[in-house]
Every structure is written in structure tokens, then in C-alpha cells.
Homo-oligomer: A and B are copies of this chain.
Amino acid sequence: MSTATREIHLASRPTGWPGPENFRLVETTLEDPADGQVLVRTLVMSVDPYMRGRMNDVKSYVPPFQVDKPLEGGAVGEVVASAADGFAPGDLVLHNYGWREHVLADAKALRKVETPAGLNPSVFLGALGGVGLTAYVGLFDIAAFKEGDTVFVSGAAGAVGSLVGQFAKLRGAKRVIGSAGSAEKVAYLTDELGFDAAFNYRDGDVREQLKAAAPEGIDVYFDNVGGDHLEAAIASLNLYGRIAVCGAISQYNSTEPTPAPRNLALVIGKRLTIRGFIVSDHGDRMKPMLAEVGGWLTEGKIRFNETTVHGLENAPQAFLDMMRGANTGKMLVELS
């Protein structure tokens, strides 16, 4: 008995900003699981900034998406049928075959999960998934955060950024400052997430706004955007300051290289460290992250907002909206 289902394929590679024309909704049919395979129905899938990079045909830290093939990404699903030991219908599984309503997957590519009491399965795409691990590793390992540090995070209302700021506060930051792209997001950071200060980078010069928000300078910068934010952070960093470079969303859609930061020579006199990282190198930190962040979540100490869109057919627009900053917190697509 085969299963009729739908997938989103990459129709063409975008140049600059992607648009709906780069995506295609495709109807297809899946066979029953062969030996070692599991048929999974997707419950919820993730759209993330890094996917923009995989749409280009360039060698990167993950292979590019293929034109006329389904896109990929983190998703949580429910087992429908199984021909693999250890998986039974109804099991909740985490996998990387997002952008499709069902997938016929090798059991080795699935991880069984159990949702902690009071939380939704989507938590594994957010605070207890790659997003949480990115914030955790970037702040605590790469940027070597320590109690008493003043922390600045850009893209602070986004999924990673909102966790970075809260993690820093929970571990004893002196002051946490965030930047975001609207007055609503700025209010969300200070009023709901407990940031000490926040500013709208569209309101004026980032360097001046950061100096005003952190008159005594910053010790850690968690960089989600690159560009003028990075330059502003270098200007405000104190001696021995550290930058974790997580993303450069301001440049993902550039066709020209970005000529910044112009003040990089300050890394010498200020003894700064700038370190890029990719979360997939740090799987060994998943266990301590789950323990510490899982604890904070069940104690209600962390707010993790989700913007949820419904239906696979709306996934491309959800991705495009996320790239333009329409979401607060994690952008998700529910398929059931």
C-alpha cells in the first residue's frame, strides 16, 4: 500500500534574494518501508537562515541542495509504518528530512525523542535542538562567556539570539544588550525576555546605538548578522573581548563582498578573539545542553517564542518571511 504525499523541491537557484519562483510543490508517492526503513509523517518542520546558503551551488560546510530534489531541514515526525527494529507506529522521531509531508527514511537517520512534560514536540527544533545547541556552544564555548560579562547579541529576537540573551542572564551576565529590526521586537527583548537594553538597528547608526546601550563597553559579542553590527561590536569591545561568529545574515543575499569591518586592526590592541563555528562540530555538547537548558525550560525560566505557519504549501513563504525578519523567535511550519 503506497502513500500519496507532497514535497517542496528547489525549482531553481536564487541569485540574491530568493522568491517563490525558486520553490515548487510536488506531488509524489512513497512505497512501503523496505527492511531497515521507517515511514514517517512530518508533524512540524523548521525553516532556518543557513538554508539560504545551501541554495547556492558552492562548496560550504554542508553540501548544496539539488535542483528538482526536495529541500532538507530539521523536522519532528510520527512513525506511520516501520520495518526497522526499535521503531513502532506512534513513535516520535527527529530527523533532517523537512520540507515534505512524509519521508521513507533509513532508521539510522532517525532519533527517537520523548517530549518533556508541558512542552511541545517542536521544542526539539528549537531550544532543545540545533538552535539551543548553537546558542549554548557559541556563548559558553566559542565566546567563553563568564559570569559578570556584558554581552551583546545581534538578531536578538531570532531563535538563536533570544536564547543567547537568556542563557547569559541565567549564568550571571552583568548586562545583556540586543539588537533587532523593529520596535515590537525591541520591546519584546526588554519587556519579555529580560534583556537590560535593546535597540532597533534601523533607527540609526549601530555603533552609536551600541555605545549608548553599553556605556562601559561589552565583553562578548554573539554575531548573527555580520556587517555593520560586527564593526560596531569591535568598536565597543573591552580588552580581551570575544566574538562568536554564528551567522552573517546581512550578507547571505549579497552578490558583492561586504567591505567591513573597517576597524579590524583593533583586535591587536584590544586583544580580541573572533571565532567562527558550526554547531554540527559540537555534538558532544548536546548532553550538557539538554541537561542545563532542559532544566531551565521545565522550571519556566526561559521564554522561547515560535512563529508557526500551517501547511506545507506555505513553507516557502515562511522561509522568505523569516529571511526578511518577519518572525519573532523560531519560525516553524506545522504540517498536521
Contacts and interface: CB of A to CB of B under 8 A. Distances in A.
Interface of A: 53, 60-61, 226, 230, 245-248, 251, 257-278, 281
B269 A258 contact: no
A59 B278 CA distance: 36
Main secondary structure of the interface of A (DSSP, over half): loop
A258 B268 contact: no
A244 to B, nearest CB: 10
A213 to B, nearest CB: 21
A235 B271 CA distance: 23
A269 B60 contact: yes
B262 A268 contact: no
Nearest to A267: B276
Contacts of A267: 245, 274-276
Given A226-B264, A259-B259, A270 B276 contact: yes
Contacts of A257: 262-263
Nearest to A257: B262
A281 B239 CA distance: 11
Contacts of A270: 61, 276
B281 A268 contact: no
Question: Taking each of A257, A264, A281, which has the highest tally of chain B beta carbons within 10 Å of its own beta carbon?
Answer: A264
19 contacts: A53-B269, A245-B265, A245-B268, A248-B264, A248-B265, A248-B268, A257-B263, A258-B262, A258-B264, A260-B262, A261-B264, A267-B276, A268-B276, A269-B276, A269-B278, A271-B275, A271-B276, A271-B278, A272-B276
A278 B274 contact: no
Contacts of A281: 271
A176 to B, nearest CB: 23
A258 B262 CA distance: 5
Nearest to A265: B248
The 7 nearest A-B residue pairs measured at CB: A267-B276, A257-B262, A259-B259, A248-B265, A268-B276, A274-B274, A61-B269
A230 B269 contact: no
A268 B226 CA distance: 11
